[in-house]
Amino acid sequence: MNIQLINDVKTAFINTFKTDPLLIFSPGRINIIGEHTDYNDGYVFPAAVNKGIVAAFQKSDSDKSTAYALDMDSSIEFSLETLKPSKQGSWENYVFGVIAEIQKKNKIVGNFNLVFKGDIPAGSGMSSSAALENSVVFGLNELFNLGLSKHEMIHISQKAEHNYVGVNCGIMDQYASMFGIKNNALLLDCRTVASKPYEIDFKDHQLVLINTNVKHSLSDSAYNDRRSVCEHISKLLGIKALRDATETDLEKIKGQVTPENYQKALFVIQENNRAEKASKAIEDGDLVTLGNLIYGSHNGLQHQYKVSCEELDFLVDQAKLNKDVLGARMMGGGFGGCTINLVAKHAIKDFTESTSKAYKEQFKKECSVYFVELSNGTHVIK
Ligand code: GLA
């Protein structure tokens, strides 16, 4: 965890509200494989990381509550009785959405003050939004003794994103952020919302993230559109979700869907299989197979599901040129953010330097390289 970040948030809280806060850390996540499968009741393979949100809370005697986004130097005072979504794209929606969803469960939240700040680069595909939502629900649960279970909390966070932020996300990000286990990735079954931990030690290889530092607009609406396509095809197939379909099932309704939508559903079925195969490859210590599955995932995200972009494709193509990189793909919702790369440790320096140089030449802007540790989920900072 980032000590500087904790100190910044704590100091800002004490300076503003003259009292010691309850401090929460809520992590962002990576995802090894299994993209756009979560809202299809499928498998994903995420892990919480040592970057995230630090949030400071305390009850307030005032008849209003305050939330202060320290890194944006933006604060808002609001009444708990009249919550409604703020304008699209504003950070308040993550906070308001969580409170509103807690209220829907007939749990009483009193007035409070909140200061938060994060070290997950925005738009990086590492889920700063789920980290923020989870920090708020976790903090309020502690502060007001709401008695919510971790499962209830992640569903509150997810609903906040649906109803206040406007993204009909799956459960992967909130789950990984809440339930993360140090040094482990979680093979999560998004139907049962239960996971199996896998200790991640790739020996002479390591996961490296490279951020394109771009986030193309329309990504939210494209996300919701993809989800609708999947639901439409599930309906045609007479199943609950694409997780229940095989390629042969899909073939039977080929004439009833557009070729583009057919490819999208096919991607989901194949990606779900890849996630399961990846867990087997990790169990067997077979990194070559894992790497090929990761490359296969990107190929599908790029050509079938069509959620990549030229910057991400460029980074993956650079990886493919390097025999010391076993796999690379875009990570998260898409249209920007990071790639995740499985790289031989001895080659990391060469690979990241040559890729950064090539990226700069191609796009006249910098990419960023991150090394993350796999970490525990949302918790109180003692
Ligand atoms: C975003 C969503 C997740 C998931 C990924 C794609 O991160 O929040 O629920 O759908 O995209 O795998």
pLDDT in tens, 268-322: 999 999 999 999 999 999 999 999 999 999 999 999 999 999 999 999 999 999 9
Helix 92-104 / helix 128-143 crossing angle, nearest 10 deg: 50
* Beta-bridge partner residues of 22: 57
CATH 3.30.230.10 positions along the chain are 3-199+375-380
For residue 220, the model assigns a pLDDT of 87
Confidence band for 13, pLDDT divided at 50, 70 and 90: very high
For residue 362, the model assigns a pLDDT of 98
Average pLDDT taken over every residue of the chain: 97
For domain 3-199+375-380, which architecture applies?
2-Layer Sandwich (3.30)
Q: Is the confidence at residue 1, as pLDDT, over 80?
A: no
CB neighbour burial string for 273-301, b if at least 16 within 10 angstroms, e if fewer: bbbbbbbebbeeeebebbbbbbbbbbbbb
- DSSP-assigned letter for residue 112: E
The alpha carbon of 265 and the centre of ligand 1 are apart by a number of angstroms equal to 16
For residue 217, the model assigns a pLDDT of 75
Candidates 35, 169, 221, 297: which one to mutate for ligand 1, based on the most atoms within 8 Å of Cβ? 169
Taking residues 21-48, report their average pLDDT. Answer: 98
- Asked whether the beta carbons of 363 and 223 are under 8 A apart, the reply is no
- Asked whether the beta carbons of 177 and 134 are under 8 A apart, the reply is yes
The pocket around ligand 1, CB under 6 angstroms, is made up of 35-36, 38-39, 127, 169-170, 172-173, 332-333
Confidence band for 79, pLDDT divided at 50, 70 and 90: very high
The CATH number given to 205-370 is: 3.30.70.890
CATH 3.30.70.890 positions along the chain are 205-370
Candidates 36, 45, 124, 162: which one to mutate for ligand 1, based on the most atoms within 8 Å of Cβ? 36
Q: Which two tokens stand for residue 160?
A: 């906040």
How far apart are alpha carbons 180 and 183 in whole angstroms? Answer: 9
Of 180, 123, 133, 178, the closest CA to residue 157 belongs to 133
For residue 89, the model assigns a pLDDT of 86
What is the side-by-side order of every strand in the sheet holding 112-118?
A: 74-78, 65-69, 112-118, 46-59, 22-31, 379-380
How far apart are alpha carbons 155 and 190 in whole angstroms? Answer: 12
* pLDDT tens digits, one per residue of 136-192: 999 999 999 999 999 999 999 999 999 999 999 999 999 999 999 999 999 999 999
The alpha carbon of 64 and the centre of ligand 1 are apart by a number of angstroms equal to 34
The one catalytic residue among 8, 38, 119, 173: 173
For residue 128, the model assigns a pLDDT of 95
Q: Is the confidence at residue 218, as pLDDT, over 90?
A: no
Vertex 16 angle, CA 13 and 21, to 5°: 30
- DSSP-assigned letter for residue 17: H
Q: Give the N- to C-terminal CA distance of the chain in Å, as an integer.
A: 12
For residue 88, the model assigns a pLDDT of 87
**Residue nearest atom 9 of ligand 1, based on CA coordinates:** 170
The alpha carbon of 112 and the centre of ligand 1 are apart by a number of angstroms equal to 30
Give Cβ neighbours of residue 375 (< 8 Å, ≥ 6 apart).
1, 27, 47, 48, 49, 50, 180, 182
Residue with tokens 């499928």: 42
The alpha carbon of 148 and the centre of ligand 1 are apart by a number of angstroms equal to 24
Taking residues 329-342, report their average pLDDT. Answer: 97
* Beta-bridge partner residues of 53: 26, 118
8 is catalytic: no
For residue 228, the model assigns a pLDDT of 98
- Asked whether the beta carbons of 118 and 53 are under 8 A apart, the reply is yes
**Residue nearest atom 8 of ligand 1, based on CA coordinates:** 169
Question: Could you write out the DSSP letters of every residue in 136-188?
Answer: HHHHHHHHTT----HHHHHHHHHHHIIIII-----SHHHHHHHH--TTEEEEE
Report in angstroms the alpha-carbon separations of 41 from 37, 193, 227, 241, 307: 7, 9, 12, 6, 19
Atom of ligand 1 nearest to the CA of 127: 7
Q: Is the confidence at residue 97, as pLDDT, over 90?
A: yes
For residue 90, the model assigns a pLDDT of 92
**DSSP H or E run through 6:** helix 3-17
For residue 8, the model assigns a pLDDT of 98
Residue 150, Cβ density class (10 Å: 0-12 exposed, 13-18 middle, ≥19 buried): middle
How far apart are alpha carbons 175 and 195 in whole angstroms? Answer: 9
The alpha carbon of 290 and the centre of ligand 1 are apart by a number of angstroms equal to 21
Percent of the chain whose predicted confidence (pLDDT) is above 70: 100
CB atoms within 10 A of CB 215: 17
